């Protein structure tokens, strides 16, 4: 495994940099220990790299990273049309599980970009680009030749974790926090929500290769200081799988709610948080509509397909909010107020997705017809 002290040897050996870059290029190396043993390399100009690797090749993280590396290796060779939407791949070693990609050092995640713009100047062109990006990705990843490509046999097609969380494996219970345990107990007491969980296998379709972890952190905007910049990259494909593309779209709906909630005072009850929110959720309706229209237009969906997809995405967004609530709750000894708000909203959406489309997300069927 490479470290900040020897990564330059690897980059030189693979001819990703030259000696002048190390000596004269203000060569900086930073360790980023998240799930993996990542290293960030920056220079005065180009190139800049993100090196993803693992310490233990037999670990679960190694399998996840290997899956991501296999995907990047595949798309860089077989789907050059997606180069404008996904990170640039520089080097892949599947045996040692090393992935090297271009590091966009001036880029920032979408949530930070939204914060900088504020609700008053919310970047509608950016949400339009999010819809177009996902539309182009799904256009490519729903093709029959992709779905049947033997080179992608390393991918699984299991339901996302949240859909089986109401009946957790004892092993999972052993390492989640008490707050996560309380979340599961809460869900299990809600009969109508349990019925909705049990209905998912009949609703979920294996119709695409999906990202699986759509969230604000995984969209980065390049050159955010440039007012005319509208370039996005969708990163972190570690949860890639075969599944229902509606789940990716639901992740964006979840993120609109997430961005609204994280801008609330978080030391109050869920009811007080909503009451004292910095802005009402309907302020985001224009952005949500632009995103949805951009996606459906890029996919070339008929009105009937649009309506059917919207119903499913809205329902899935309720489960996506439950997932967010669980992820937060698992870090605490009890369900914190912010997680309780996600939980309450998720249940409300699941109970009445059709009403949610217009009342919460502001997408009117009448406007879709017109």
- Give the whole-angstrom CA distance, residue 206 versus residue 368: 26
Q: Domain spans of the chain?
A: 7-102, 108-369
Q: Are strands 89-93 and 208-210 parallel, antiparallel or unpaired?
A: unpaired
- Give the whole-angstrom CA distance, residue 310 versus residue 332: 34
Sign for the pseudo-dihedral over CA of 143, 149, 154, 156: positive
Burial class (CB in 10 A: 0-12, 13-18, 19+), 31: exposed
Q: Which CATH architecture has domain 108-369?
A: Alpha-Beta Complex (3.90)
Residue 362, Ramachandran bin (φ over 0: left; ψ between -120 and 50: alpha; else beta): left
342 neighbors 261 (Cβ within 8 angstroms): yes
89 neighbors 73 (Cβ within 8 angstroms): yes
In order along its 370 residues, the chain shows pLDDT tens digits of 888 889 999 999 999 988 888 877 678 888 887 667 899 998 887 789 999 998 888 888 888 899 999 998 888 888 888 888 999 899 999 999 999 999 998 899 999 999 999 999 999 999 999 999 999 999 999 999 999 999 999 999 999 999 998 888 777 666 788 999 999 999 999 999 999 999 999 999 999 999 999 999 999 999 888 776 778 999 999 899 999 999 999 999 999 999 999 999 877 899 999 999 999 999 999 999 999 999 999 999 999 999 999 999 999 999 999 999 999 999 999 999 999 999 999 999 999 999 999 999 999 876 665 5
Question: How far is C-alpha 86 from the geometric centre of its chain's CA atoms?
Answer: 13
Using CA atoms of 193, 194, 197, 198 in order, give the dihedral in degrees to the nearest 10.
Answer: -140
Q: Output the pLDDT for position 369.
A: 56
7-102, CATH topology level: Phosphorylase Kinase; domain 1 (3.30.200)
In the beta sheet, which residues pair with residue 205? none
Q: Output the pLDDT for position 59.
A: 86
């Amino acid at each position: 495994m490479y470290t900040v002290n020897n990564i330059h040897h690897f980059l030189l050996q693979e001819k990703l940099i030259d000696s002048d870059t190390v000596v004269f290029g203000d060569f900086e190396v930073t360790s980023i220990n998240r799930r993996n043993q990542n290293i960030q390399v920056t220079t005065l100009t180009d190139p800049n790299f993100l090196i993803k690797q693992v310490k233990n090749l037999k670990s679960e993280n190694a399998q996840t990273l290997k899956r991501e590396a296999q995907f990047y290796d595949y798309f860089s060779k077989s789907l050059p049309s997606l180069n404008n939407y996904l990170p640039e791949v520089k080097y892949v070693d599947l045996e040692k599980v090393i992935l090297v990609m271009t590091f966009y050092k001036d880029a920032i995640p979408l949530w930070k970009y939204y914060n900088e713009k504020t609700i008053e100047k919310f970047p509608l062109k950016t949400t339009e680009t999010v819809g177009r990006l996902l539309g182009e990705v799904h256009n490519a990843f729903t093709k029959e030749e992709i779905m049947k490509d033997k080179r992608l046999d390393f991918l699984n097609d299991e339901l996302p974790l949240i859909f089986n969380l109401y009946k957790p494996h004892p092993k999972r219970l052993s390492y989640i926090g008490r707050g996560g345990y309380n979340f599961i107990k809460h869900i299990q007491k809600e009969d109508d929500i349990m019925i909705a969980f049990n209905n998912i296998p009949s609703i979920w379709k294996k119709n695409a290769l999906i990202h699986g972890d759509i969230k604000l952190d995984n969209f980065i905007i390049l050159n955010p200081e440039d007012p005319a910049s509208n370039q996005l990259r969708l990163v972190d494909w570690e949860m890639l799988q075969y599944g229902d593309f509606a789940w990716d779209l639901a992740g964006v709906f979840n993120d609109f709610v997430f961005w609204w909630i994280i801008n609330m005072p978080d030391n109050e009850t869920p009811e007080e948080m909503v009451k004292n929110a910095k802005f009402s959720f309907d302020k985001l309706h224009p952005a949500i509509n632009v995103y949805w229209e951009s996606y459906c237009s890029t996919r070339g969906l008929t009105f009937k397909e649009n309506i059917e997809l919207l119903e499913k995405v809205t329902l899935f967004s309720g489960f996506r909010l439950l997932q967010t609530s669980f992820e937060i709750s698992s870090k605490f000894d009890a369900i914190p107020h912010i997680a309780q708000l996600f939980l309450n909203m998720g249940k409300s959406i699941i109970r009445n997705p059709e009403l949610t489309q217009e009342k919460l997300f502001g997408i009117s069927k009448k406007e879709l017809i017109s």
